[in-house]
Structure 1
């Protein structure tokens, strides 16, 4: 006999799932019946929030949905924060949870892990959420889940299976073939408009992350500077047309506003990218051509031409459709001037920021091609403003969009699981690290090449500064940091400490590299420098 739980694992495997992040519990035991012999790797986090952030990091690193198993009640509530982060950043995540027996749902009997309405709670952040109430409903539910994960704007999807349904008999059925993609929109209007522009600018968002080669071709054909949002960093590394700087910066806003045509690729034009300093709104966009996979997103801003579709499908076709011509001669100069002005302006925003970026460049250059997953911490804030990463899709963090603390450590672990031959750096402040610090043991358990970098100033310093700026006495912003040498020893990880300077960080890395397993670098900002 095949049970519903076994059939679920079989169907996930058939759909290309190779890893599940989860913590077994009494309400998910039956989901694990078929897991051991399935070939699917199971990774055990220390908290369901960790499971969700690992699934997020895995999805960003691989482009495939990250999958998590969680128990009823607290398992689902614990993973809601990662689901909300995934929703904000359009990350495909499948959360499969248990739920109590069908006859108890909504009755308030006081069952173990009971929620008044678990499905309704999941629907507050999930693109789609449903209950499998009978064995025959499993495959259609998975079809709908994967359709939501792979078509339109991705995000978190939730399926719950009652504990009395999991052990029921289920007849295995063939997995449905994926549907044909929607036809591509007509590009015959967009291509001539782009070719005719004298001062075009391209805005690249997270939807363009995997399109480094065609984006470079397009930019060169048009002579167009390419402004990268946080989630697009790593594209066109070192290219003279690349502008790896925040469109919230005055210099970048001037570049955008001086264009005669803007092409926006997979960016939601949200305020955490385009109006971080609450200047009163988004830049004054010139005429815009916008490509996005979400119709609702396209309708949120007036544009000259909206093209609905995935950037990875449309961008190569757009390059092919461009007529031959002479690219804008001023593009490289405009990009260079903007890059220089953006870097020069960092110190005006916060005196330590240029030094922080220099330290990050030291990390990048000593671990070339690494994925860096970041938290809300000073070095990340500085680099989100102006920093050129060297790997497409290799720079992401939780400090924009939903902005969840505790993201970096588990997200880096998920990325390392998904890309086993790639070094991964988790960059967190001591405050954010304490949200998910126990997840380091999952990296030890899995023997992952992750460098945990802790920026330790024993403070929520940015929040403390913000309170001072508006005349509020600072309260609650000085959490005591643990002794990270002892933390590393408890996790059986090598540890090195450095003062906050590029030279000190380079010397500490000499002690830790090569990255043949998890290691911990503590940058002790209390020792002076760019604190």
Structure 2
């Protein structure tokens, strides 16, 4: 037993779990916790807003495979966490949110107009896997261990622990902190019997046109290498979900883009489909499984119902078969299953359609060439042309981050690069995550010399523009490309179609490059295509956080976004946008 403050003991619990960053604003109620963590080598990473702290923890978790930890001060600070908690819930990310709380007397009093006493627990319970308040110091170990278990078991997700701030300063006798394997060993056990993997192998090896689909879960599990080895042993085509983009580089020789080019026929003609790291969600139109049999206009990118065999690998039994019927369920951790399947495939040899992939890639190259021919050399810059020119200056191992509305669509279809990672918040399309994600990614990238590039629209950038100061303060290797049309262009077509006019879609023109320089970053301004590549190169070579402002064509951005048949039907019950 050791006598220490509760704040110091909680720091010990976090360090034992492998936490190496604490994302929070500097604030007095968590001061003892900040101090105790810092003394153990866990720095406070302080953005300008608690929501941003949550987003940064999300990105950091995705790039490390560890939990992210976020703090919010009493009252408004913890309330600012709500949006981030909801996003972590939808993105299935293991984030521990620590909210500073009033005492039990202050929280439970029936009196009105209490200061900084929001009902945090009531608000966050529906959007967390576990939520509790430490009411007694002796409960701390049990509550934190349960939080750690919940975040990592089944489908990952956020948890919330409320910490009455007066308790953090109180001294108590505490037991030695347990190592993680003492309270959550089941999360690291290989549970796959050979018989189940052999069933999957039989279906794949007997298939004539097998297809592999990977999702964001592969990245969240840090299983990219295992997924790549499995795909390459199979040799068949691979499609990634929208959220899973970046699990393989865009230039991988087996990769094809969902709903575009040769992938249209690949998905429809596949006879066996192996899904890993994806719930087969709405942006995949639930694998062609409509909400109701009588539904009209439902998008189906796959074969006719009953014509394809689906294999689904997931560690959560509540995910398998939920969004569409499954023919073979593989329940367990992909980090164990994929290497074993890879070994079996290597002994068998590549799958039946592996020899056809090179021809499919020739069709894919033709698709991209024809797509790039649709852009024009104009001023303001064609959004597609901006992507083509930016791409010329990107490092091969760049970590890409995507944000924005229309800009995300252009980037999704025009960017075709040998990137190392790709981050975005796609389950809800949460705008404003881009710069927080990029900054957190850059914290990780500083360890291995990689660079981070965020491509964002100006509307999304404006959510948390002052996080550029955070990048400068921590000297983060991030280059921000802002596709700038001074407003909300994605909303224009819908407004014009429905109302015949627009409402508040225009902003004042701002020189963001000059703002960046004032903050201490490198700034570049482009309004012609030939300026973009050299500007981006200078930004990467500056050795500083950098912003490149590219003035794009509003009309083209609003009305010529590619492949509207895809993104306008992400609401698969009924399209609400204009084709």
TM-score (norm 2): 0.83
Which structure 2 residues correspond to residues 502-517 of structure 1 after superposition, within 5 A? 503-517=530-544
Q: Look up the SS of the partner of 2:301 in the other structure.
A: coil
Structure 1: how far apart are the matches of 2:123 and 2:28? 21
Q: Look up the SS of the partner of 1:88 in the other structure.
A: helix
Query: What number of residue pairs does the alignment pair up?
Result: 523
Name the counterpart of 2:503: 475
Q: Look up the SS of the partner of 2:36 in the other structure.
A: coil
- Asked if 1:238 corresponds to 2:251, the answer is yes
Which shows bigger deviation, 154-163 or 75-84? Answer: 75-84
Name the counterpart of 1:305: 328
Name the counterpart of 1:193: 203
TM-aligned CA deviation for residue 344 of structure 1? 4.6
Q: Which runs of 5+ in 2 are unaligned?
A: 289-295, 559-579
Structure 1: how far apart are the matches of 2:213 and 2:5? 49
Q: Look up the SS of the partner of 1:295 in the other structure.
A: coil
Structure 1: how far apart are the matches of 2:549 and 2:464? 16
Post-superposition, which runs of at least 4 consecutive aligned residues in structure 1 deviate over 6 A? 275-278, 345-351, 527-531
- Asked if 1:433 corresponds to 2:461, the answer is yes
Structure 1: how far apart are the matches of 2:67 and 2:166? 27
Name the counterpart of 2:430: 404
Name the counterpart of 2:275: 264
- Asked if 1:114 corresponds to 2:99, the answer is no
1:486-516 per-residue CA deviation (whole Å, 9 max, x = no partner) reads: 3113211121111252x32112124323152
Name the counterpart of 1:319: 342
Name the counterpart of 1:521: 548
TM-aligned CA deviation for residue 27 of structure 1? 3.3
Pair 1:360–1:274, CA change in 2 (3 A) = farther
Q: Which runs of 5+ in 1 are unaligned?
A: none
Q: Look up the SS of the partner of 1:232 in the other structure.
A: coil
1:184 aligned residue (174, 187, 191): 191
1:376 aligned residue (404, 418, 422): 404
Structure 2: how far apart are the matches of 1:295 and 1:348? 45
Pair 1:472–1:73, CA change in 2 (3 A) = farther
TM-aligned CA deviation for residue 363 of structure 1? 4.3
Which structure 2 residues correspond to residues 137-216 of structure 1 after superposition, within 5 A? 137-170=139-172, 171-178=174-181, 179-180=185-186, 181-185=188-192, 186-209=196-219, 210-216=222-228
Structure 2: how far apart are the matches of 1:275 and 1:362? 35
Structure 2: how far apart are the matches of 1:349 and 1:72? 51
- Asked if 1:413 corresponds to 2:444, the answer is no
Q: Look up the SS of the partner of 1:255 in the other structure.
A: helix
TM-aligned CA deviation for residue 30 of structure 1? 3.6
Structure 2: how far apart are the matches of 1:24 and 1:11? 21
Which structure 2 residues correspond to residues 483-498 of structure 1 after superposition, within 5 A? 483-498=511-526
TM-aligned CA deviation for residue 167 of structure 1? 2.0
Name the counterpart of 1:283: 301
Contact 1:85 1:403 in 2 (8 A): no
1:350-392 per-residue CA deviation (whole Å, 9 max, x = no partner) reads: 995643541342243xx32111222124332123245434234
TM-aligned CA deviation for residue 273 of structure 1? 4.6
1:254 aligned residue (256, 265, 288): 265
Contact 1:80 1:125 in 2 (8 A): no
TM-aligned CA deviation for residue 282 of structure 1? 4.3
Contact 1:373 1:408 in 2 (8 A): yes
1:125-180 per-residue CA deviation (whole Å, 9 max, x = no partner) reads: 22221111111111111111111222221122211111232222231422243214
2:52 aligned residue (50, 53, 71): 50
Q: Look up the SS of the partner of 1:52 in the other structure.
A: helix
Contact 1:255 1:338 in 2 (8 A): no
Which shows bigger deviation, 61-70 or 279-288? Answer: 279-288
1:193-217 per-residue CA deviation (whole Å, 9 max, x = no partner) reads: 1111111011111122344443333
What is the RMSD of the two structures over their aligned residues, measured on CA atoms?
A: 2.9
Which shows bigger deviation, 36-45 or 215-224? Answer: 215-224
Structure 2: how far apart are the matches of 1:426 and 1:138? 39
Name the counterpart of 1:128: 130
Contact 2:262 2:360 in 1 (8 A): no
Contact 1:24 1:70 in 2 (8 A): no
